[in-house]
């Protein structure tokens, strides 16, 4: 595939990329991945993400936020620190934020409070949201609706793996839907494979979420089992097959959607 792609979710600050980051970025570009959004999952990782993004303007961007796993670390200073980060031109979204009732690494009440705080930050900054939801659809939607009228920039439910009802609800709220290599797994991705064709062209985004979620059907598999942006064309090709479309079409619409949502330079 030679069409331009945008990886809207990649954890390039993860330690697994520390030894060969330049090569990872080179391989991504060679595969047609022209732009990448580095995910900020806590305050320290958000700082690291924007610092890395600044080294390659026009190619790397970042988010800034606190993942529900890290909600337990939230302090009274977090809001001011995140607002300061979000002033940086390379930071294009608030998040990763949301709810995760699957692993419950932070107490649910704390997750809900921190999610609501970051929704209010999105309303204040008018930046889009990079959202996480797992096994928490109803509470996620209820908290979102409390502030949604004030949030004009929308957002993406990243790494969507939910139900048909959740998909319909998120589309009704105007969210974009991020699809990862989860869709390449014929076992746990079976439900998602059925839902991918239901996503409108103008709401579809793709991502690797590397180093996690290496596509199960990727051949040959890297010895490290690490996912990276260079494998985004494989995900795009799978999405294309499921939607009876060409990989070039999927590349074109998802790139346009990413640049629209996050106001990326073409």
Domains in the chain (CATH in brackets) are 5-262 (3.20.20.140)
pLDDT of residue 33: 98
Note if the pTM is more than 0.85.
yes
pLDDT of residue 266: 82
**Residue 188: which H helix or E strand, with range?**
none
pLDDT of residue 248: 97
Strand 60-64 vs strand 91-100: parallel, antiparallel, or unpaired? parallel
* Integer Cα distance of 179 and 177 in angstroms: 7
Q: Alpha-carbon torsion 110, 170, 241, 264, what sign?
A: negative
**Residue 262: which H helix or E strand, with range?**
helix 247-262
10-residue mean pLDDT profile of the chain (266 residues): values are 87 96 96 98 97 96 98 95 97 98 96 98 98 98 98 97 98 98 94 98 98 94 94 98 98 98 93
pLDDT of residue 2: 58
Q: Do the beta carbons of residue 233 and residue 32 sit within 8 Å?
A: yes
């Amino acid at each position: 595939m030679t069409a331009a792609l945008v990886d809207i979710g990649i954890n390039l600050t993860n330690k697994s990329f520390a030894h060969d980051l330049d090569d990872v970025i080179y391989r991504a570009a060679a595969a047609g991945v022209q732009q990448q959004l580095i995910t900020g999952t806590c305050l320290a990782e958000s700082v690291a993400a924007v610092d890395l993004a600044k080294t390659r303007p026009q190619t790397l961007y970042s988010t800034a936020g606190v993942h529900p796993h890290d909600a337990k670390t939230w302090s009274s200073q977090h809001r001011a620190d995140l607002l300061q980060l979000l002033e940086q031109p390379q930071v294009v979204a608030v998040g990763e934020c949301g709810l995760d009732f699957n692993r419950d690494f932070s107490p649910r009440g704390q997750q809900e409070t921190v999610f609501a705080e970051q929704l209010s930050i999105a309303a204040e900054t008018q930046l889009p949201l990079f959202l996480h939801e797992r096994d928490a659809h109803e509470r996620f939607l209820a908290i979102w609706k409390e502030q949604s009228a004030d949030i004009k920039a929308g957002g993406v439910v990243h790494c969507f793996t939910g139900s048909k009802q959740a998909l319909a609800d998120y589309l009704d709220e105007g969210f974009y839907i991020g699809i990862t290599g989860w869709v390449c797994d014929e076992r746990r991705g079976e439900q998602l494979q059925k839902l991918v064709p239901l996503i409108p062209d103008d709401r579809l985004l793709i991502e690797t979420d590397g180093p996690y979620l290496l596509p199960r059907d990727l051949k040959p598999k890297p010895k490290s089992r690490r996912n990276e942006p260079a494998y985004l064309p494989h995900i795009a090709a799978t999405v294309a097959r499921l939607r009876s479309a060409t990989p070039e079409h999927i590349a074109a619409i998802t790139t346009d959607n990413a640049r629209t949502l996050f106001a990326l330079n073409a």
